[in-house]
Structure 1
Amino acid sequence: MPVRAFTRTFWFMGTDAHDFLRDLARGLKTQSDQLTEVVLQHLRSELPEVWRYEDIAALAPVALSEHVDTALDFLERGREMSEVATPPAAIDFACRLAEHGVQISELLRVYRLVHAGLLHLFYEEAGRLTKDPELINAVMITLSALGFEYVDRTSEQAVAAYQRARDRWLQRRLITINEAGTRIGTTLDTTRTAQELADVGTDHLADLVTVDLLDAVLYEEETHPADGSPVLRRIAQSVSDDSRDPAVDSRATHTYPEGSGPAVVLATGKPLRLGIAASDAPTWLKVPPDDSGASGAVGIHSLLLIPLWARGNPLGLAQFCRRQTADPFDDDDLLLAQEISSRAAVNIDNARRYTQERCIALTLQRSLLPQHAPEESAVETASRYLPSGSRAGVGGDWYDVIPLSGARVALVVGDVVGRGLQASATMGRLRTAVRTLADIDLTPDELLTHLDDVVIRLQRAEQRGMDEISATCLYAVYDPVSRVCSLASAGHVLPAVVTPRDAPAPRTVVFPELQIGPPLGLGGLPFETDQFELPQGSLLVLYTDGLIESRARDVDAALAVLSDVLTQAPASLEETCDRLFHALLPSRPADDIALLVARTRVLDADHVATLDLPSDPAVVSEARAFASERLAAWGLEEMAFITELVVSELVTNAIRYGKSPIQLRMILESTVTCEVSDASGTAPHLRRARDFDEGGRGLLLVAQLTERWGTRHNREGKVIWAEQAIPSILAE
């Protein structure tokens, strides 16, 4: 029944309840301040948690006073309920509750308490003004009906304002979380990621944010909750107020006392929200002090301690502090700090894992590369290796210089597809395989064919789901006697060839148009060996594609720059490498680069001696005499006995098992090499001769008397060679 209709019953009883209430409201207007204070005291006792926010505590008396005045004015003038509007301060009060994350149930409870308190005061005042029971009953019924209708209308408007403010608040929180996701973890750098967390925290949540990481996180692969007091390093700090941002010394370590807030958070992985009284600030707040000796904790009244955990492992601790902002942290602030800290922890863990893996891969990579440039009579070399500066990590680029028989040298450069430890390990396997295959003196195309088989076997051995192994390789062999360079490529960029400075024509840079075979790992496709002559003092520049491929310029432009640098290349090969890197590479290259620069040499004619021999056992003595004479010319007479014996065995073996033409060649460099070539493709091998065998001991004798021996094949047949070390006295 409408209130007007309901209360009309009392009109016929001789006294109108509305008139009484009008007089009652008019009389209470002079006591509105006292009414407000009484209800306010009741609210404070019933809802103490709401009053911990200073802005709410300051606004509540104003809002309540406006409510009392509005209610009294409504009763006095007898207005329609549609004319009643919630006081502005009450709307603001509801919005403040929403912004502080106070639940809407608390707002509705405020309205119920205010309604009950005012009704109680009105009932008491009505009982004081009249003793007529019927009038009092009518007034109570009318006042209750009007009060409930008033509370329903004003609370409905306040709830709508609360919801709008709450939606805006939630939207701002989502924006903050999204911004944190964008700003935190922009690089795979642990310190920078921690600083990004601190900066986001001071921009949206706190006045001071510090980030401490466990010392073990920065140096160990895995961490676990530690017994006792873990050692930490402060690596990031940020302030939002006008105070000086304290300096961070990441080299200094510190610990928190057992049982302190930070120690508990680190041990349990659970966050803490603390209120701090100025007179009772814990001593651990001053750890570590800033560079001036003063603590950055001065004035802190509210604190959030958030653990940084990722993948089940503790990483450290983030502290969010308020000192200038008056409001303490609430539960929603705690959830927000946890959200952005958990995201940052994953990024920090990713950064440290990347750093550790990169360091391991780089260490492995460098350990597998040549540690120093070998001294070769065939070439002078200089080399460089530069790891990638991108997030992709260390790759599998490599280079090598391998001494071969006959004073020759192999120059190798390769690139394993992929990044990280797997690429570095694969590179080590392939480099070892190349050295093993080079040791049996295969031609470049045959070597790459065998290396292709190695890669295919590695592919089959890998677990399913792993990236397929693939690589490119360039294998070149330079002979300082003939000045011929034999080269084959398995999907690798071809080298640059630079004519010597003292040539009759001006120095030029040539990119030979040679055949490039398929990358390693495809199988079943052929490789081809190309040959070309190099004048003495030529530069042979081998490199991986990271040197010339860049987003900033195309390959043709990079090759033009490469040519310009090599045309003006200085005498020093080391300086040539430096100039190439400086001209072609950015500060953080996107790919690994391996560079090998070789200057060719030619063996002096008087260091090489050859003798053509017919297929007749009678010429063995002639071969021994030739070797003895050559050693005498070289001043190595003391080596004559062993050399004659070696030459005798090699020539006899060629005459007995080989085909004409037969040739003896002697080479003097750091060793004395005796080579016997013939037209047969059958390779000899060591075997254990039985007691009554007439042969089979020749090669065993050669192996015992020389440093190295072996066989290499060519298009015309084979070469059996043996090297002898020059005695130190003679070598001097």
Structure 2
Amino acid sequence: MRANDADGAADADGDECPDDGGPLADTAVALVERRGVVVGWSRAAEELLERPAAEVLGRSVLRLLTEADRAALAEPAGSPPERGEVTVERGAGRPVAVRYQARPLREGAGTAILAVTAEWALEAEHAESLSRALLSQERIGYVLRDAELTVVRTNVDRPGFAGPPLPPGSRLSDVMGSSDAAGADAALRGVLETGEPLTGQDERVRSTQPPYGDWSWSVSALRTEDRRGRPTGIAILLTDPTDHWKTARRSALRHRAARIGGTLDIEGTAQEIVDTLVPDFADFAWVDLADPVLTGDEPPKTLKSGELHLRRVAVRAMSGAWPPELLRPGQAVPRLPDHPMVHHLQEGRTIVVDRATFEEGLDDPARIRHAAPERGHSLSIAPLFARGLVLGVVAVWRAERPEPFDEEDVGLLTEIAAHAALSVDNARRYTREHRAAVALQRRLLPKASTVTPVMETAGAYLPAAGGAGLGGDWFDAIELPCLRTALVVGDVTGHGLHATATMGRLRTAVGTLADLELAPDELLTHLDDLVKRLAGEADPAHRDVVSATCLVAVHDPVSGRCVMAAAGHPPPLLLVPDGPARPVPIQPGPPLGVGGLPFETASVDVPPGSVLALYTDGLVLRYGDDLDSGTRGLADRLARVPHAESDLAALTEDLMTPAGGAPLRDDAALLLARTSRLAADAVAGWEFPAEPGSVASAREAATGALAAWGLEDSIFATELIVSELVTNAVRFAGGPVGLRLIRGEALFCEVTDPSNTQPRMRRARSTDEGGRGLFLVAQLSSRWGSRYGPSGKTIWVEQELPA
């Protein structure tokens, strides 16, 4: 206000009180002297009544009222009542209701009348009533912030409200972690700048001041404005669904914990445990298991301290990087001290301690450094207790979050550890059974590598990854007489011990049938009959595994040819020197056990230095999505290897682990065979007619060949053998009669005739004139036998050569 000395009247025109939009900007002020004459008139009064000061000053204030209010308020002293509501006449003749208060000034200075519209006063009353109601709430938080987001009014500073206090003058960064506060401030500043309200946003509050803990606030915020629409701050309503949030978080944690143990892998299960607990439950977690558990065995049943022989298996830190001072996976846990905490664990009880108690229990700075993170303040350890055995422990630390573990946390950790212990125990028992099955499988398979004068072989078997486990894939390399070799690969349907057992029976049968020197197609025919018989004998629940595919190939180093037949099995790959690897064209018959169709043979020339690859479908499916693409991928991989000089065992391992390291979807077997051929001068052959004189000619031819080879010491025995076998062929089989000598590590003598009669050795009586020929042959040789061809048979005899 400003006094006008010229006319003795005070003029309150507001020039010195610019309208800044504050709470008094709309308050009209009039100065009235004792007689009721207006001597001062503010700019807000001019705007409210639409009357300039010149029109009002020097006149009675009652002239501004309507006639009814003027008569009611007229007093002899000309002084209005202290407060009330009246209707005043605006300059344009429109009445407006106002509320006013009259404040006497110093003695004799008159009265100051402050007035606002009744509407504005009612809004202010409602706003104040709402503010008082919100500030008195205990379940709803109310925070009024100014334009700088500083707390102006709040009820969150009272002890009864859950969460950290927010006293007037504070900011979020004073009570919350910097990252949480920055995110919340950014959201509120967006409301302040755009005017778009925030409704029901979940805000996690982790207090850095007492009371420590985590809360979940549901935040709604809107911008406050003055009567002219200018932003003045933020009004925030908070509800506290922390209990529901914690319940939901624990339920989610239980749900994740229920999925622990799906892999049946001990170390994988342990890692799933710590991944479940961090970061939602703890800041650090690890799992220690007893050493026997890692190999599938049971831990010792003892309550003596330090007898668990624990080893760190899995770790997880909220920050991602595991502190270097803490024990790492694979390291042995130091012997546990004789302390009540350890006894509780061995009895299957969960413990919770603060850092001071923990350090007092260990009483060893070095062990404390290996067992406690730098800022860890609360520790809980739960035993992995299953079937009365302590398999290990799961330990969790809180470091970054300030609240310690409470009873609810201990109960939840105990529940998770109980479920996890069953998963660890299932994985342990699976490991033990799998180890036994692998041992059985290894015993049923032949040795991985063989080397003969005419062939080098290397084989490998890998079980399927994950839960598929072992199966019935197998391979075999069987040495046959006269330096021939039978190569076999097969795949029993199904997985598990039943498939493994069936595989063992089939491999035994193949070895027996191979010793009979049957042709590959005939061998598969006998094997098909065996599988059908096994299926009929099997329990109905296991008949699905009594079926198989099989490939049999017989290599002859003299002719350099390989004869093969397949029962539902993919063809082998042939890699010739300086050439590509291609599948051998072969028409496979039905799988073993199906029957109804014959098996066909295929013959292929195998140059010296070639590599034959026999495999099961589990391997080719690792190189492609189907058998065709997988076979091409395996062939390309095989062709890129310098096979002539390579180590077959290393090549086998390389082919079993293709690029990318994808796990096997099915078990797989692979057999590689590098072939060679006998030199031309190591074989001598003749053909004689079925005449008595042919016996002497055969002896003479054999003697000459042995002399040329420098095997004079074997001439006498060989003459007798040739004489007996050719004589029998001439007398009982007819001609022509073939004679072949093969020189290798042993000396082989073969006599071929057109008869299919099975030769038998018998014990002749002293009065018999014959019947001693094969008995004599057996005494002069290390072994003998016969095989049948498309027409006729071949009797072979093997003799050891002098060293």
Q: Report the TM-score, using the length of structure 2 for normalisation.
A: 0.63
> Hey, what does 2:670 align to over in structure 1?
595
Q: Is the 8 A contact 1:674 1:722 kept in 2?
A: yes
Larger strand percent: 2
> Hey, what does 1:707 align to over in structure 2?
782
Structure 1, unpaired ranges of 5+ = 1-57, 64-95, 102-160, 502-506
Residues 295 and 468 (structure 1 numbering): CA distance in 2 closer, same or farther, change over 3 Å?
A: closer
> Hey, what does 1:232 align to over in structure 2?
310
* Counterpart selection for 2:482 from 406, 409, 414: 406
SS in 2 for 1:374: strand
> Hey, what does 1:487 align to over in structure 2?
564
Residues 418 and 221 (structure 1 numbering): CA distance in 2 closer, same or farther, change over 3 Å?
A: farther
Alpha-carbon distance between aligned partners in 2 of 1:687 and 1:196, rounded to the nearest angstrom: 71
Alpha-carbon distance between aligned partners in 1 of 2:323 and 2:685, rounded to the nearest angstrom: 83
Alpha-carbon distance between aligned partners in 2 of 1:62 and 1:582, rounded to the nearest angstrom: 63
* Counterpart selection for 1:374 from 450, 456, 477: 450
Cα displacement (A) at 1:248? 2.0
> Hey, what does 2:110 align to over in structure 1?
none
Q: How does 1:621-640 map to 2 (within 5 A)?
A: 621-640=696-715
Larger helix percent: 1
Q: Is 1:454–2:534 an aligned residue pair? A: no
Cα displacement (A) at 1:633? 1.3
> Hey, what does 1:547 align to over in structure 2?
619
Q: Is the 8 A contact 1:562 1:584 kept in 2?
A: no
**Matched AA of 1:236:** A
SS in 2 for 1:695: coil
Q: Is 1:247–2:322 an aligned residue pair? A: no
Cα displacement (A) at 1:318? 1.9
> Hey, what does 2:277 align to over in structure 1?
201
> Hey, what does 1:148 align to over in structure 2?
none
* Counterpart selection for 1:687 from 762, 784, 799: 762
> Hey, what does 1:22 align to over in structure 2?
none
* Counterpart selection for 2:751 from 660, 676, 689: 676
> Hey, what does 2:594 align to over in structure 1?
522
> Hey, what does 1:475 align to over in structure 2?
552
Cα displacement (A) at 1:258? 4.9
Give the share of equivalent positions with the same residue, in percent.
44
> Hey, what does 1:417 align to over in structure 2?
493
Cα displacement (A) at 1:587? 4.5
**Matched AA of 1:496:** L
Alpha-carbon distance between aligned partners in 2 of 1:430 and 1:630, rounded to the nearest angstrom: 42
**Matched AA of 1:689:** A
Deviation string 1:183-210 (CA, Å, 9 cap, x unpaired) is: x446444234223312322323234433
> Hey, what does 1:444 align to over in structure 2?
520
Q: Is the 8 A contact 2:617 2:627 kept in 1?
A: no
SS in 2 for 1:631: helix
**Matched AA of 1:572:** E
Q: Is the 8 A contact 2:748 2:798 kept in 1?
A: yes
Q: Is the 8 A contact 1:517 1:528 kept in 2?
A: yes
**Matched AA of 2:555:** Y
Cα displacement (A) at 1:240? 4.3
Cα displacement (A) at 1:282? 4.7
Q: Is the 8 A contact 1:215 1:253 kept in 2?
A: no
Alpha-carbon distance between aligned partners in 2 of 1:715 and 1:457, rounded to the nearest angstrom: 28
Cα displacement (A) at 1:508? 4.7
Cα displacement (A) at 1:551? 7.8
* Counterpart selection for 2:255 from 175, 178, 182: 178
* Counterpart selection for 2:647 from 567, 574, 584: 574
SS in 2 for 1:639: helix
Q: How does 1:270-285 map to 2 (within 5 A)?
A: 271-276=349-354, 278=356, 282-284=360-362
Alpha-carbon distance between aligned partners in 2 of 1:413 and 1:440, rounded to the nearest angstrom: 18
Alpha-carbon distance between aligned partners in 1 of 2:585 and 2:403, rounded to the nearest angstrom: 75
Residues 635 and 62 (structure 1 numbering): CA distance in 2 closer, same or farther, change over 3 Å?
A: closer
Deviation string 1:559-584 (CA, Å, 9 cap, x unpaired) is: 44444445555222537656655667
Alpha-carbon distance between aligned partners in 2 of 1:399 and 1:386, rounded to the nearest angstrom: 12
SS in 1 for 2:671: strand
Alpha-carbon distance between aligned partners in 2 of 1:585 and 1:637, rounded to the nearest angstrom: 59
Cα displacement (A) at 1:334? 2.8
**Matched AA of 1:272:** T
SS in 2 for 1:204: coil
Q: Is the 8 A contact 1:378 1:479 kept in 2?
A: no
Alpha-carbon distance between aligned partners in 2 of 1:714 and 1:247, rounded to the nearest angstrom: 70
Deviation string 1:29-81 (CA, Å, 9 cap, x unpaired) is: xxxxxxxxxxxxxxxxxxxxxxxxxxxxx976679xxxxxxxxxxxxxxxxxx
Structure having the higher Rg: 2
Cα displacement (A) at 1:679? 1.6
Residues 288 and 462 (structure 1 numbering): CA distance in 2 closer, same or farther, change over 3 Å?
A: farther
Alpha-carbon distance between aligned partners in 1 of 2:303 and 2:285, rounded to the nearest angstrom: 26
Residues 603 and 308 (structure 1 numbering): CA distance in 2 closer, same or farther, change over 3 Å?
A: same
Residues 222 and 524 (structure 1 numbering): CA distance in 2 closer, same or farther, change over 3 Å?
A: farther
SS in 1 for 2:591: coil
Q: Is the 8 A contact 1:445 1:488 kept in 2?
A: yes
Cα displacement (A) at 1:637? 0.8
Q: How does 1:26-45 map to 2 (within 5 A)?
A: none
Cα displacement (A) at 1:460? 4.5
Alpha-carbon distance between aligned partners in 1 of 2:764 and 2:418, rounded to the nearest angstrom: 74
Alpha-carbon distance between aligned partners in 2 of 1:279 and 1:533, rounded to the nearest angstrom: 80
Alpha-carbon distance between aligned partners in 2 of 1:233 and 1:288, rounded to the nearest angstrom: 17
Deviation string 1:690-726 (CA, Å, 9 cap, x unpaired) is: 3433333322222222111111111102111110011
Q: How does 1:607-686 map to 2 (within 5 A)?
A: 607-686=682-761
Deviation string 1:492-543 (CA, Å, 9 cap, x unpaired) is: 1011234443xxxxx3544333220122233454322222334444443322
Number of paired residues?
Answer: 569
Q: How does 1:77-88 map to 2 (within 5 A)?
A: none
Cα displacement (A) at 1:634? 1.0
* Counterpart selection for 2:604 from 532, 543, 550: 532
Cα displacement (A) at 1:727? 0.7
Please identify, of 247-256 and 332-341, the stretch whose mean Cα deviation from structure 2 is larger: 247-256
> Hey, what does 1:130 align to over in structure 2?
none
Q: Is the 8 A contact 1:548 1:555 kept in 2?
A: yes
Alpha-carbon distance between aligned partners in 1 of 2:610 and 2:547, rounded to the nearest angstrom: 32
Alpha-carbon distance between aligned partners in 2 of 1:586 and 1:202, rounded to the nearest angstrom: 29
Residues 518 and 619 (structure 1 numbering): CA distance in 2 closer, same or farther, change over 3 Å?
A: same
Structure 2, unpaired ranges of 5+ = 1-156, 163-209, 216-238
> Hey, what does 1:89 align to over in structure 2?
none
Alpha-carbon distance between aligned partners in 1 of 2:257 and 2:565, rounded to the nearest angstrom: 53
Q: How does 1:268-417 map to 2 (within 5 A)?
A: 268-269=347-348, 271-276=349-354, 278=356, 282-284=360-362, 289=367, 293=369, 295-296=371-372, 303-310=379-386, 313-322=389-398, 325=401, 327-371=403-447, 373-417=449-493
Alpha-carbon distance between aligned partners in 2 of 1:62 and 1:587, rounded to the nearest angstrom: 56
SS in 2 for 1:638: helix
Larger relative contact order, structure 1 or 2 (CA cutoff 8 Å, min sep 6): 1
Cα displacement (A) at 1:645? 1.4
* Counterpart selection for 1:222 from 291, 298, 304: 298
Q: Is the 8 A contact 1:660 1:679 kept in 2?
A: yes
Alpha-carbon distance between aligned partners in 1 of 2:393 and 2:773, rounded to the nearest angstrom: 75
Cα displacement (A) at 1:463? 4.2
**Matched AA of 2:312:** R
Cα displacement (A) at 1:255? 3.7
Alpha-carbon distance between aligned partners in 2 of 1:471 and 1:535, rounded to the nearest angstrom: 31
Residues 508 and 234 (structure 1 numbering): CA distance in 2 closer, same or farther, change over 3 Å?
A: closer
SS in 1 for 2:586: coil
Residues 178 and 641 (structure 1 numbering): CA distance in 2 closer, same or farther, change over 3 Å?
A: same
Alpha-carbon distance between aligned partners in 1 of 2:701 and 2:466, rounded to the nearest angstrom: 61
Residues 533 and 244 (structure 1 numbering): CA distance in 2 closer, same or farther, change over 3 Å?
A: closer
Q: Report the TM-score, using the length of structure 1 for normalisation.
A: 0.69
> Hey, what does 2:772 align to over in structure 1?
697
Please identify, of 234-243 and 329-338, the stretch whose mean Cα deviation from structure 2 is larger: 234-243
Residues 563 and 197 (structure 1 numbering): CA distance in 2 closer, same or farther, change over 3 Å?
A: closer
